[in-house]
Structure 1
Amino acid sequence: MEIRHLPEAPTGIRPLAPGTGIDAHRHDTHQVAYACRGVLSVTTSAGTWVAPANRAIWVPAGTVHEHRAHGDTDLRLIGLPVADNPLNLQRPAVLAVGPLLRELIIAYTQDPHDDGAERQRLRAVLLDQLRRSPEQPFHLPTARDSRLAAVCAILHDDPADRRTLAQLGRQAGTSDRTLARLCQGELGMTFPQWRTQLRLHHALLLLADGTPVTTVAHRCGWASASAFIDVFRRALGYTPGRAFTM
């Protein structure tokens, strides 16, 4: 697969139809990617980051990545020089986006060719707000070990699979103890935590496609819609029903 090299990360608006995206590429500057409508996913060799309208994705310079749109997506991109790294992050991350930062991103991407004094002031406030944006634990890391990768692939194909780690391990030809150790070492979280992240990621993508909340809960493995709503609210700060009416 050819990887495009873009010297500078672009700033501007990129509308994306559902299921479309921007293929694997890298740039020599940092980038903030934000979908003020729809859901955006960014994938690298280290995993996938998913961001609805109250999250943005930080992509550091040099990172090979691809964008994908889920639902009708209004993608806003901001390129930043290497010297401008407000959170000093050298890896991709999901950042919280409050009302003020959202409006700053929208305003800054409206006319990317403007280089006047007003835009420079807007940029300064934007960087200040990014500096105050807490990182969100919404990363779905990729397994490297073939045994763990096989288990992860099973659940990617069917997030509603409720088998225990021991049962999944038997299918992958290994023990639950080995898989639990690999989860901590490679994914940085326990197996139940990773499975919840996976289910939330899938849930966001289904919601972006207009799937009803009850159907999403069932397809992603929750015992009831109320259980799904509770986990979703605690993870994202709002209910699934409000996910695309914000």
Structure 2
Amino acid sequence: MRRGCAVVVPVLVCVTTILLGYQTSAHAAPFRTVVVEPDLAACHGEQTEVKNASCAVALTDRWLRHRERASVVRETVMVQNPGAGLSWNRANGDVCVYAELGRLIDLGLHHCDKTTFVNLETDAALISTRSRTVTTFVHESGHGVQESVGLKPVSTTVFGPVDEVRRLEFASDCWSGAGWSWLIGEGYLSPADLTEAVEFMYSLPGRPTHGTGAERGRAFERGIAEGAAACDAILGRSAYT
């Protein structure tokens, strides 16, 4: 999540409660969203935001099934603009929100309550290539793993502490790297794709809550080299293994 969540999320809670009503659980097709269908064929040929998303969903699904974590991502959805929603995640006792409200609110690509939310327009830089999209979608599934063991990435992002947010983010970066290692081994992606993914991670702008590009790149490469066990080490508890 991004862009002033400490202010945006409380406001969004009020707005969506009034406009949409409070939901007790996330729906299979949240308000003003469209489900992204997995498609391995989309991993070949022309790269567009839609094809990249369908490819990344398919590859993320396969990685999660391999790790016996398929249940942590129920669906990936494209949020339309405007579109907003609020639900309660019973699994970890945390709120789940998403929002695209013109230029006023943009929570960006994020994951909560077994759903990954993406907007083709505002998240264009993150899904402009296949490598970038796979990297970010597998990263977001890492937050799903965190939720499955009772951690609260959303509340932690909003309320901190910042060191804890960074720990969750670096663990998910590591998880993405571990996923890449397996996907290359299975022949779904190439070493050239991985080179692009590593460069992408190191190029990410520094943010107080997410760390520097260098820190995120190192966490990503640690996942490639050491696997999911390294992600548990970063997280400070067992979750990914």
Structure number with bigger Rg: 1
After TM superposition, the score normalised by the length of structure 1 is: 0.28
Structure having the higher strand fraction is 1
Structure having the higher helix fraction is 2
After TM superposition, the score normalised by the length of structure 2 is: 0.28
